[in-house]
Amino acid sequence: MKSPKIFTTASLCAFCGLASAYSITGSVSDEDGKAIKGASVSLLKEGKSTTTDDKGKFTIEEEEVGIKSAFRNAVGYISVNNGILSYSQSSTSPVQVSIYNSLGNQVFKSSLQGTGTLDLSKKVSARGTYFAQVSVGSAKQNFKFTTDGGFNSSFGSQDASALMKEAAKDEALRFTFDGYDTLTVPLGTLDTTVDVKLKKSEPTYKFGYALKNTPTPSKGCGTNSTLKKVKSVENGDQFQIKVGSDTRDYFITLPKNYDNTKPHKVLFALHCYGSRGEDFVHHSADYDHPTPYYGQQVLDKNGDYIFVSLDAIGGLWTKGQGDHDFFAQTLTTLNDNYCIDTSRVFITGFSFGAMFSYSLMQDMQSRVRAAATYAVADYNIWLPEGNNMKNLPIAWMNVHGKNDGRCDYNRAKNSALPRILKRNGKADANGDFTDASSEKPEEVNGNTGHVCYDFKNVDERFPVKWCSWPGDHQWTAHDTGNMGVGWNWEQTWVPEEVHKFFEQF
């Protein structure tokens, strides 16, 4: 189809007046919508910058000077007649011609030298409204024309000015403010309003994460699991993994609303002597198994957790390095196949499961955020030796009956507890953790109630909570005394306290 001709005769040799080349405005606030004063705003390629005012507002603009008649002899002569651009260029600066459609997309651009003509009608292939920009050196002029057959035109249109401020390739605004993450916003036009919210920066540490840190997605996020289950069980699936020469069993329970793009927290439940991994996936309610996974699954109202239970060989955590490798390999398998938050992996266990948890948490500090144990003991614990021993802090909560005749309470308090406190003291100026083992817990007195003591001298990122109650060897602690004295495991306060402990991270 023949291109339509373009508009009436008009002389462009005597442009005059001032026009804004571009104007970028906007505002900067925090995540709560509070204005940020003094934030730096930089237009990167243009090399311009400003700061926000007390209302968080900013403006970056540039004014351009039109071609004045006084410079006519230096610049030359430019005119448009029925779509033919005529130019007589006496200066060394070329004539730059750009044409944009009504959506602001550039459809033609050319650089002209010397004297000659350009048939603009051949550069536009459809009827409609177009905008042109003609410039010589730093002087520019915008005009609007239509190709409706009548060749109507208007000059110096504000619509043209707004549409033709196309940003240079990769142009962007950068926002910076102390204590907040730097934000870079790409620009397609230099006439725009940009309102942004800055997120507070997460501090970095020599070791560990900030409280309430942004989730750290695993390799498995955005993919589907390739794991082959051994069988389905009530409330989960059974899997196997080869650890050395042993084939080990483990169980996974996904939330009903599992989303492979959302990083999920992970809780490992480690069983006690005489139990198996499957017992903590599903079990008839009793004082050891009121609900799955030590009562934590029922408290996961939003489906934020993936629950895992490991199975000890022969029901005993006595394989040492082999059991640690079992845990580590299973966690890696989860990383690869599911979307997990690698900064929020938790472990929990009772009795022998508490001993194994205590062992793991002193070896896996870089992979485990926190542990909750019930009736921990300071024996039957395997730990790496020498240079392989990780002298790093770990967040820990322990619940212990003062009358425990199997895992002695005083031994746990006077040996297992100070070993952790020794590494968990507040970090010094070099980021190294200090010794908080001189602090002693408050404890329950009498035959009822319980006391949960939060240590004051530990680093806030590695809290230690010690809960005592006047009970024997069981994890379902309650406030009605020992078994036989108003005992009712259904009144246990432990799951809720543990859930709160994990949720602070």
Q: What does the alpha-carbon distance between residue 330 and residue 121 come to, in Å, rounded to a whole number?
A: 69
Q: Are residues 479 and 331 located together in one domain of the fold? A: yes
CB atoms within 10 A of CB 436: 22
As a whole number, mean pLDDT of residues 32-44 equals: 96
Question: Among 113, 144, 163, where does a domain finish?
Answer: 163
Q: What does the alpha-carbon distance between residue 326 and residue 349 come to, in Å, rounded to a whole number?
A: 16
Domain count, the chain: 2
Q: Are residues 107 and 253 located together in one domain of the fold? A: no
**pLDDT, the chain, mean:** 85
Q: Are residues 249 and 390 located together in one domain of the fold? A: yes
Q: What does the alpha-carbon distance between residue 77 and residue 97 come to, in Å, rounded to a whole number?
A: 14
The answer to whether the beta carbons of residues 363 and 394 sit under 8 Å apart is no
As a whole number, mean pLDDT of residues 16-43 equals: 83
Estimate the crossing angle of helix 321-337 against helix 352-361, to 10 degrees: 70
- Residue 70 belongs to some domain of the structure: yes
- Residue 250 belongs to some domain of the structure: yes
In which element (H, E) is residue 158 found?
A: helix 158-163
As a whole number, mean pLDDT of residues 319-345 equals: 98
Q: What does the alpha-carbon distance between residue 324 and residue 319 come to, in Å, rounded to a whole number?
A: 8
- Residue 98 belongs to some domain of the structure: yes
Angle, alpha carbons 224-230-236 (nearest 5°): 70
Query: How many CA within 13 A on the CB side of residue 26?
Result: 24
Question: Among 145, 163, 181, where does a domain finish?
Answer: 163
Q: What does the alpha-carbon distance between residue 484 and residue 481 come to, in Å, rounded to a whole number?
A: 8
- CATH number of residue 76's parent domain: 2.60.40.3080
- CATH number of residue 249's parent domain: 3.40.50.1820
Question: Among 137, 163, 189, where does a domain finish?
Answer: 163
Could you read off the pLDDT of 451-474 as tens digits, one per residue? Answer: 999 999 999 999 999 999 999 999
- Residue 178 belongs to some domain of the structure: no
Which residue pairs, CB below 8 angstroms and at least 24 apart, start in 342-345?
Answer: 342/216, 342/217, 342/218, 342/263, 342/367, 343/209, 343/213, 343/215, 343/216, 343/369, 343/505, 344/215, 344/265, 344/266, 344/369, 344/502, 344/505, 345/265, 345/266, 345/268, 345/369
Distances (CA, A) of 387 to 4, 383, 423: 82, 12, 16
As a whole number, mean pLDDT of residues 338-366 equals: 97
- Residue 196 belongs to some domain of the structure: no
In the prediction, which pLDDT does 140 show? 65
Query: Using 50, 70 and 90 to split pLDDT, how confident is the model at 46?
Result: confident
Q: Are residues 264 and 118 located together in one domain of the fold? A: no
Angle, alpha carbons 261-307-330 (nearest 5°): 85
Show the domain range for 258: 231-503
In the prediction, which pLDDT does 360 show? 96
Q: Which residues pair with 25 in a beta bridge?
A: 59, 193
Q: What does the alpha-carbon distance between residue 395 and residue 393 come to, in Å, rounded to a whole number?
A: 7
pTM surpassing 0.85? no
- Residue 381 belongs to some domain of the structure: yes
Could you read off the pLDDT of 368-421 as tens digits, one per residue? Answer: 999 999 999 988 889 887 666 688 999 999 999 999 999 999 999 999 999 999
Following DSSP, what letter does each residue of 36-52 receive, concatenated?
-TT-EEEETTTTEEEE-
As a whole number, mean pLDDT of residues 186-193 equals: 87
Question: Would you say residue 284 has pLDDT above 90?
Answer: no
- Residue 2 belongs to some domain of the structure: no
Could you read off the pLDDT of 47-79 as tens digits, one per residue? Answer: 899 999 999 999 998 754 333 333 333 345 666
Residue 79 tokens read as 């005119």
**Does residue 329 sit in helix, strand or coil?**
helix
- Residue 216 belongs to some domain of the structure: no
